[in-house]
Amino acid sequence: MRRRVLIILDGAADRLRIDGRSPLGSARTPYLDAIARDGCTGLMTTLYDDLPRESLVAFLGMLGWDPHTYYPGGRASSELRAVPHVTLGDGDLVFRANLVRVEAGQLASFSADSIDTETARSLVADVNVALRAEFSELEMYHVGDYRTLLVARGAGLLPNQVACREPHESEGLPVQPDALIEAVDATAAPFARRLNAYLLRAASVLRDARANAVMPWGQSKSLRLPAFSRVAAFDGRAVVIGAMPFLSGVCAAGGIDYRMAGNGRPDSDFAEKARGVIDALDAGYEFVCCHVNAPDEASHLHDPALKVRCLERIDAELIKPVFQYLQASSGTDRRLMVTPDHYSNSAPTARAGTRREVHSLEPVPFAVWGGPRDQVATFDEDAARGGRYGTVPTSHLDLLDLLDIRDLAGRAVKSG
């Protein structure tokens, strides 16, 4: 029996160094270190200078879909696939849309101060009811906490014909609700004017609420993927365990099972994620991917200390039980890989100012247990440079080979 586990620590890698150590290097992570010490380490490129620096680009490549071929222009359409009974037509666009808080003409919080799901859902309903008659082609759908989706029916544009600012990179900067969408060419100008008019009216509806504006970004067209079994040359059962809507959408598009566990915040139930991984292995899944968003969210909250605490909890509550389970599974073909999907660079102190290049292009550290070994003894960005793949980083398009996941026919195709 094969048992392949991939644990993605979203945004765990970081440029920040305090006393010479990153959050990942500062955190007490004995089980991540044990995976590195008893396995093989190195660096992996996951993002590109000609594509948005976001998790969907990294995740697609990690699971075998080349993002230059399959990236739909943004994450929104993958999140929309998780909304029941809502589909995207060929001429439609969908935006990710944060509920945000604006004060004195500046973006004060990209998450409306981590607004709770019930309050956010009610505000989305208020906007839809108030604006449905005036803007019948625009629909908002709530997907969790401050996250919503804004569908523009019949836009007739490509995602790159309009430009938006990413809310988590815009705190402290001026914002105008009627100037959030920019037309890249003349063809897109009428659409941009129409959408900005909608956003101004939405801000009017929300003016007395905790979240007093809507900020769209991450626009995309429909997501279409070939089956994971084909791109991975893998005939076993596969499942992704996570809490982010875009994961569910990718799984639906690519023919992978999906199980919800925990949430996307730093207060997630990491033990629930561990149980999900172990239960899936017990149920006969041969490839289990577990995504953990908490480190990325801690970075976007400008809280390095919170990021360190998240990593320590992940190590104790998720990595430890999964690693010990695999260690005890003698007589099986086991391999465990742990990696961030990208860098999420923290400010050195809470609210110390707006960062730039929040998601940057550096290759991330990774460790694989169950195969070859090298001499690295800890898991962090700096130690990984001394690993087997530390001098010449590998690509996330080769991740499945590092996990030795391909079946015999697929290996023959890859080598030939």
Q: Which residue has the higher pLDDT, 346 or 338?
A: 338
Q: How confident is the model at residue 416 (pLDDT cuts 50, 70, 90)?
A: very low
Triad 73, 13, 257: Cα angle to 5°: 55
With a CB cutoff of 8 Å and minimum separation 6, the contacts of 20 are none
- Cα–Cα dist 45/49, whole Å: 11
pLDDT tens digits along 43-62: 999 999 999 899 999 999 99
What is the pLDDT at residue 217? 95
Q: What is the tens place of the pLDDT at every residue in 146-189?
A: 999 999 999 999 999 999 998 988 889 999 989 999 999 999 99
Percent of residues, the chain, with pLDDT higher than 90:
84
Residue 192, H or E segment: helix 189-205
User: Residue 412 above 80 pLDDT?
Assistant: no
Radius of gyration of the chain (CA): 21
SS3 state of residue 366: strand
> What 3-state DSSP class applies to 240?
strand
Q: Is the pLDDT of residue 35 over 90?
A: yes
Supply the DSSP string of 283-345, one letter for each residue: TT-SEEEEEE-HHHHHHHTT-HHHHHHHHHHHIIIIIHHHHHHHHH-TTSEEEEEEE-SSB-P
Report whether pLDDT(74) > 90: no
**Which of the pair, 264 or 202, is modelled with greater confidence?**
202
Q: Which of 132-136, 177-181, 331-335 has the highest mean pLDDT?
A: 132-136
pLDDT of 18 > 70? The answer is yes
Classify the phi-psi angles of 239: left when phi > 0, otherwise alpha if psi is within -120 to 50, otherwise beta: beta
**What is the three-class DSSP state of 405?**
coil
Query: Closest Cα to residue 306, out of 298, 296, 297, 317?
Result: 298
Q: Does residue 414 carry a pLDDT above 70?
A: no
Domains in the chain, CATH or no CATH each: 2-72+225-415 (3.40.720.10), 80-220 (3.30.70)
Alpha-carbon torsion 385, 386, 389, 392, what sign? positive
Give the DSSP letter of residue 359: S
| 276-317 pLDDT per residue, tens | 999 999 999 999 999 999 999 999 888 999 999 999 999 999
Beta bridge mates, 259: 241
Give me the mean pLDDT over the 370-393 stretch.
97
**95-125 confidence digits (pLDDT tens):** 999 999 999 999 999 999 999 999 999 999 9
Tally the residues of the chain.
Answer: 416
Check residue 411 and give its pLDDT. Answer: 53
Average pLDDT over residues 220-232: 94
* DSSP secondary structure string for all residues of 90-153: TT-EEEEEEEEEEETTEEEETTTTT--HHHHHHHHHHHHHHHTTTTTTEEEEEEETTEEEEEET
Mean of all residue pLDDT scores within the chain: 93
